[in-house]
A and B are shown apart, each in its own frame.
Chain A
Amino acid sequence: MSASSNLVPIGAIRQPVHGRHHILSVLVENKAGVLARVALLFSRRGFNIYSLAVAPTDDERFSRITMVVDVETAPLEQITKQLHKLINVLKITELDPSDAVEVESMLVTIVAEGGSRSRALELAELFRGQVLDVNAERLTLMFALAPSALDDVEALLGEFGIVEVQRSGRIALARLPKPVRRVARRGKVS
């Protein structure tokens, strides 16, 4: 991905290249060294991890790694097969971005003095942000949003002057199945 901002529209800078964006949800045994095995596999096979989030699941024997990888579809199949070969990997689900709910969080410190402070707080409220820290010159805000909305917030906050920003990498789950009413009705009519 190009780093030159005049080629990439603001707000899209943190998105993977369209069509190469795959979310893998990987259920692993919660054992020492598992993250190292996964990370090493990616570097050894020449794959890129775009973002990565890992934490234990409700069952403490397992952790879930959510990663966004930035590859074409064919290498993706090779990635999942290689991941499956790791003894500590139990299950890999590829989440289609259009069929998943995705959230990413961000901590951001901006310059907010005098008149700009109220505008910043207004913007934070608009995106359901929280103020985590404050002093006379600066504000530290927290957001948890869909990644593209987070890009928008980051771009908008850029006008105030970003002092520091830290994003978490995205986490995701598959969308829940919905009843398919329309199809059933059409069946009755015909």
Chain B
Amino acid sequence: MRLTGAQALVRALEMEGVDVVFGLPGGAILPVYDPLLDSPIRHVLVRHEQGAGHMAEGYAQASGRPGVAIVTSGPAATNIVTAVADAAIDSVPMVVITGQVPTGAIGSDAFQEVDTTGITMSVTKHNWLVTDPADIPRVVAEAFHVATTGRPGPVLIDLPKDVSTGELEWYWPRRLDLPGYQPVTKGHPKMIEQAAALITAARRPVIYAGGGLVRAGAERELRALAERTGIPVVTTLLARGIIPDDHPLALGMPGMHGTYAAVMAMQRADLLITLGARFDDRVTGRVSAFAPEAKVIHVDVDPAELGKVRRADVPIVGDLRNVLPELLRRLPAEPADLGAWRATIAEWQQRYPLSYVPSEPGSATKPQFVVERLRALTPDDTILVAGVGQHQMWASQFWTFRAPRQWINSGGLGTMGFAVPAAVGAKAARPRQMVWAIDGDGSFQMTAQEIVTASAERIPIKVAILNNGYLGMVRQWQEMFYDERYSEVYLSPDLPDYVRWAEAMGAVGMRVDAPEEVDAAIEKANEVDDRPVVIDFRVDTFEKVYPMVPAGASNDDIVLPPHLVGDGR
């Protein structure tokens, strides 16, 4: 069967089970958009290519399947680079297809030409410049395989226009020939045995649960390990929900804005059982002072993570879903008595819980209160998406997570503007689940135009803007570390007018000025199911995110909220 390259591409996407793609057409990708009309694949037309990338990420994180974005060459390709980099650092499986100028024009500085594979080389797991139509089915099959196996990540296929208009005899590769790509999935038995011995001997162990557990779909295996051993679990920003927050062994998030109990448990631990986590600087604080007495078991599917930041006493390369049951099998039936350790941690939890001072009557709404009310008034399986900034930390802290893949945010790259498009992608993947985005006013303004996409495509996401009129996190740092010298952080709560902006974009717009209006607004939003909703929550400008380990400081120097200590320490 003779097909054009473009037809083969669409057919290959169908073979891979793709049901939704996010994109925006343009000159070099035009041939691909023609056969797309005849395909059952749904296309979501974005308003900016960065949005297509984040939507694909949101889709992937909510569904566990790779997200797909299709954009044209040149500026479209550069626009999507941010999302590709975001997916790379957070290990999100994503396949990006970019148009390219015809092969004969490559290198001539043609209209809308950039070196897309060159630009994205360091932020993709792999990329391909296709030069022969006959390569298309093979490259698509390889791309999906690479994106979804081993440590997942984004891949990119650059498709010159003459390659998508050229012809090929259709085929679908039965096996892939990637001699340099063989991810290790089974852990080394000797190493797993050593890990079991360390766990058995430990008296102050902590499970350091990272995003790799979510990517591996290993929530059941993790929970079995924790419950069998009685070892408490900290969940990183990307792993929130991998164990329910109301589980007795859950300590919440560690790191810069982690709970006191999670941070201190790691600092005082004699063993860190590190599962799909990477000792990010936002978790460790100053590395030389991090968990000084802890031995380290480190399990990761990416060998390069082992020993990258912290030396592992027992490094194990492998898929967590394979390694954890093997580890469990080697543990003694009777777990060690961790009573004293658990009592110490319980005391930390009790003495320094996550908390805030509720607002006085007549004064501004506390942002944390909005997060708590949202959790209370939405279904258990609500998917929560966040942008980047203070609101993201409050969302992670004050939402009660009950399952993985219900929390989607930009962890490693910290991409402001992530929330709205990622929420659209999540809702496209999970149309029956409620999807709420908690966003900041600064973050929202970066990609708000994708509300138009949500309206036009009937993807009814809900957005709660925690509007404090500032680039709040930067403001917090300037307050704490730059002598309250506020430089270029004021945005104004009224400019733009978020309600009118939301309405202009086809959404329902609401504004909440006082704490007692919060519940009614959320309930009203929950009832809207045919269009997006944006609520402008006016919140207290002076509220800061606590606890906080200042950048570069030791985790021992954690700063607690003033109301828990009295003197600001």
Contact = CB atoms under 8 A, between A and B. Distances in A.
Interface string A30-46: 00110011001100100
B307 interface: yes
Interface stretch (B33-41, B118-126, B529-537): B118-126
A78 B180 contact: no
A89 interface: yes
Interface in A60-103: 74, 77-78, 81-82, 84-90
B129 A78 contact: no
B308 interface: yes
A154 interface: no
Contact of A29 (B117, B180, B307): B180
A47 B180 CA distance: 22
Contacts of A88: 180
Contacts of A87: 125-126, 146, 178, 180-181
Nearest to B123: A44
Interface size class of A (residues with CB under 8 A): 20 to 34
Nearest to A43: B122
B122 to A, nearest CB: 5
A37 B304 contact: no
Contact of B179 (A77, A81, A85, A90): A90
A40 B121 contact: yes
A33 B180 contact: no
A28 interface: yes
B303 interface: yes
Contacts of B126: 86-87
Nearest to A41: B122
Contacts, number: 41
B178 A78 contact: no
B121 A84 contact: no
B180 A90 contact: yes
B245 interface: no
Interface string A11-42: 00000000000000000110011001100110
Given A33-B129, A78-B304, A84-B304, A89 B122 contact: no
A105 B180 CA distance: 30
B57 interface: no
Interface in B295-310: 302-304, 306-308
Nearest to A29: B180
B400 to A, nearest CB: 37
A160 to B, nearest CB: 43
Contacts of B121: 33, 36-37, 40
A86 B129 CA distance: 16
A28 B307 contact: no
A78 B122 contact: no
B302 A78 contact: no
A28 B178 CA distance: 12
A9 to B, nearest CB: 36
Contact of B118 (A36, A78, A81, A82): A36
A32 B304 contact: no
B304 A85 contact: yes
A81 B180 contact: no
A12 to B, nearest CB: 32
A44 B302 CA distance: 18
A44 B119 CA distance: 12
B558 to A, nearest CB: 29
A85 B118 CA distance: 17
A89 B180 contact: yes
Nearest to B118: A36
B180 A86 contact: yes
Contacts of A81: 303-304, 306, 308
A27 B146 CA distance: 20
Contacts of B125: 85, 87
A31 B303 CA distance: 25
Nearest to A44: B122
Contacts of B180: 28-29, 86-90
B129 A85 contact: no
Contacts of B118: 36
A33 B304 contact: no
Contacts of B181: 87
Contacts of A41: 122
Given A78-B307, A87-B178, A40 B129 contact: no
A44 B129 CA distance: 21
Contacts of A28: 180
A32 B303 CA distance: 26
Nearest to A39: B121
Interface string B522-554: 000000000000000000000000000000000
Interface in B117-144: 117-118, 121-122, 125-126, 129
Chain B CB within 10 Å, residue with most, of A44, A81, A87, A89: A87
Contacts of B302: 85
A136 B409 CA distance: 72
A64 to B, nearest CB: 14
Given A29-B180, A87-B178, A87-B181, A82 B146 contact: no
B77 to A, nearest CB: 16
A81 B121 CA distance: 17
Interface string B306-322: 11100000000000000
B129 A29 contact: no
A138 to B, nearest CB: 38
A93 to B, nearest CB: 14
Interface in B253-309: 302-304, 306-308
Contacts of B179: 29, 90
A77 B312 CA distance: 13
Contact of B129 (A32, A37, A74, A90): A32
Given A28-B180, A33-B117, 12 more contacts: A32-B129, A74-B307, A78-B304, A81-B306, A82-B304, A84-B304, A85-B304, A86-B126, A86-B180, A87-B146, A87-B181, A88-B180
30 contacts: A29-B180, A33-B117, A33-B129, A36-B118, A36-B121, A40-B121, A40-B122, A41-B122, A44-B122, A74-B307, A77-B307, A78-B307, A78-B308, A81-B303, A81-B304, A81-B306, A82-B304, A84-B303, A85-B125, A85-B302, A85-B304, A87-B125, A87-B126, A87-B178, A87-B180, A87-B181, A88-B180, A89-B180, A90-B179, A90-B180
Q: Which 9 pairs of residues, A with B, have the shortest CB-CB distance?
A: A81-B304, A87-B126, A90-B180, A44-B122, A87-B181, A89-B180, A81-B303, A82-B304, A40-B121
